[in-house]
Amino acid sequence: MTELETALAKIDSNLDSALGRLSALVAIKSISTDPAYANECQRAAEWLADELRGLGFEASVRPTAGRPMVVAKAQAGRTGAPHVLFYGHYDVQPPDPLDLWETPPFEARLRTTPTGKEIVGRGTSDDKGQLMTFVEACRAFRETGALPCDITILFEGEEETGSPSLPAFLAAHRNELKADLALVCDTSMWDRATPAITTMLRGLVLEEVIIRGADRDLHSGMFGGPAINPVHVLALIIADLHDESGRVTLPGFYEGVTELPAEIAEQWRKLPFSGRRFLEEVGLSIPAGETGRSVLEMIWSRPTCDVNGIIGGYTGKGSKTVLPAQASAKFSFRLVGAQDPEKVAASFRAFVKARLPGDCHAEFLSHGASGALQLPFDSPALQRARNALREEWRKDAVLVGSGGSIPIVGAFRRDLGMDTLMIGFALDDDRIHSPNEKYELASFHKGARSWARILASLAEQ
């Protein structure tokens, strides 16, 4: 047997005890948002550090202004092995509403369903079950030999509250945490049979503009006609931001946007995904946006421009015959590929200024600008992870995008200069943040096996 095969067999034979360890972690009520549970967060961090020490990691619990971090390090069996940083979070959402739980939320229960067995309990999927798949993979290697890679583990306890301590912690421990590649386990499979790797996260530019005309609200009878109306001016600008085919009209906006590789486009086309059904979930049915682009393509790999909010003039009940002195709107631009967030913001501001009548002026506020993250499709690490997942699941992993941002991935890129492989085994129906959260037993078991395969694959020479 190869070292990998030995480790996989160990994962199989460890499954019962692994479930016991997950149950022990689930039992710790590490709710980060409620200060009453700060001590439970501390306990969870210490439990994880102890666990990792038992596997030969040099592990410590590090205090922050909020909940502590766990940092653990272990060397591969050989020198020159790749170095990976694995990230997960041990904090969980509150279990409320309690009366909707069928079993106590902090007592993990194994339950049989028509599609297999599942582990029910708060945090089983998000993210205790997911991070334990990686820990169990490490255990299997240590109990049968050596780790294939140098491994640093970072567990935080504030993910559910927006990771307030993380940026400062990364900045302060840059050298300690820097690795060749980051692994993040906080994502989902495509479906219960098909693994997924998230390789694209859209970037985000947030701009607000306030357009001012007269120095006060005017009476629409006295001034209606000759006085400029900032709501009209703003509406014209918003109307101009897209052409009839739904493309954004900002000059230079599509610089750095490339078409999908044919292989990926083909993979997405074949996915059993209905754009119509996706929209029907929220009361819509007709895809808007760029003509000729699929819903998946628009969400994962196309840039957008949206108004997030608009306000101006009288907005109370009834009517008020006023010409507003000002109108403002907030815009979000989702970026992909190599679009430059600074250039997009600058182009937007120039676009607005070019459309201001002489009597209006605009004030701009930036609420953030970050570029897209895209793992190159030909990245060797990505290819190795794809191979490993294909071995385990006997199906190709779908390379998915994510419309939203995952801040930790941006921070790894920006502050530590690392790419990230986002691989997780959650399912969309895991009810994370809701009562009766569950994690499939198959996700837990085959997830650990997948990590073992990925670590071995990354270490191949």
Interaction residues for its own copies, span 325-344 (CB under 8 A): 327-330, 332, 334
Q: How far apart are CA 105 and CA 120, in angstroms?
A: 8
Q: Which of 97, 315, 394, 417 binds its own copies (CB under 8 A)?
A: 315
CB of 434 to its own copies, least distance (A): 16
The two structure tokens encoding residue 277: 């059904």
* Phi, psi at 114, each rounded to 5°: -60, -25
Shortest CB 289 distance to its own copies, Å: 4
Residue with tokens 């109306």: 229
User: Per CB under 8 A, does 32 bind its own copies?
Assistant: no
Interface pattern 210-249 for its own copies (x via CB under 8 A): ---xxxx-xxxxxxxxxxxx-xx-xxx-xxx-x-------
CA torsion 8→10→12→18, rounded to 10°? -120
Quick one: which segment of 72-80, 174-182, 276-284, 416-424 binds its own copies (CB under 8 A)? 276-284
310 binding its own copies? (CB under 8 A):
yes
Task: Out of 124, 163, 304, 436, name the contact with its own copies by CB under 8 A.
Answer: 304
* Interface residue with its own copies, options 31, 81, 323, 399 (CB under 8 A): 323
- Give the nearest distance from C-beta 162 to its own copies in angstroms: 13
Q: Contacting its own copies (CB under 8 A), which of 145, 289, 407, 435?
A: 289
Q: Exposed (0-12), middle (13-18) or buried (19+): which is 365, by Cβ within 10 Å?
A: exposed
Whose Cβ is closer to its own copies: residue 205's or residue 411's?
A: 205
Task: Report the DSSP pairing between strands 196-201 and 398-402.
Answer: parallel
Task: Look at the block and give the residue holding tokens 């067995």.
Answer: 117
Stretch that binds its own copies, among 143-151, 159-167, 189-197, 352-360 (CB under 8 A): 352-360
Instruction: Show contacts with its own copies in window 173-202 (CB under 8 A).
Output: 202
- Verify binding: residue 320, its own copies, rule CB under 8 A: yes
Sign, Cα dihedral of 208, 212, 217, 221 = negative
CB of 65 to its own copies, least distance (A): 21
For the sheet with 116-120, list strands across it.
109-113, 116-120, 438-440
Q: Which stretch binds its own copies (CB under 8 A): 114-122, 171-179, 305-313, 445-453?
A: 305-313
For residues 119 and 362, which CB has a smaller minimum distance to its own copies in the complex?
A: 362
Q: Which stretch binds its own copies (CB under 8 A): 150-158, 160-168, 354-362, 438-446?
A: 354-362
* CA atoms in the 13 A half-sphere facing the CB of 272: 5
Decide: is 265 part of the binding site for its own copies (CB under 8 A). Answer: no
From 111-119, 130-138, 164-172, 292-300, span contacting its own copies (CB under 8 A): 292-300
Q: List the one residue from 262, 272, 286, 461 that touches its own copies (CB under 8 A).
A: 286
Q: Is 292 in the site for its own copies (CB under 8 A)?
A: no
Stretch that binds its own copies, among 41-49, 113-121, 189-197, 293-301 (CB under 8 A): 293-301
Place of tokens 């840059």: 174
Residue (180 or 208) nearer to its own copies, CB:
208
CB of 311 to its own copies, least distance (A): 4
Q: Which is nearer to its own copies, 56 or 287 (CB)?
A: 287
Query: Residue 400: helix, strand or coil by DSSP?
Result: strand
Task: State the number of binding residues for its own copies (CB under 8 A).
Answer: 79
Kindly identify the residues of this chain, within the stretch 381-440, that bind its own copies according to CB under 8 A.
402-405
The label of the residue with tokens 């918003």 reads 238
Query: How far from the centroid of its chain's Cα atoms is residue 381's Cα?
Result: 19
Dist. CA 293–CA 205, nearest whole Å: 22
Judged by CB under 8 A, does residue 256 bind its own copies? no
Q: Are 117 and 441 in contact (CB under 8 A)?
A: yes
CB of 288 to its own copies, least distance (A): 4
Distance of CA 68 to CAs 155, 178, 184, Å? 9, 19, 19
Q: Is 83 helix (H, G, I), strand (E, B) or coil?
A: strand
Distance of closest approach, residue 420 Cβ to its own copies, in angstroms: 17
Are 185 and 133 in contact by the 8 Å Cβ rule? The answer is: yes
- Answer for which of 295, 340, 391, 431 binds its own copies (CB under 8 A) is 295
Contact yes or no for 364/209 (Cβ under 8 A): yes
Q: Is 313 left (phi over 0), alpha (psi -120 to 50) or beta?
A: left
Closest CA to 260 of 288, 293, 220, 287: 293
Closest CA to 459 of 82, 84, 29, 150: 82
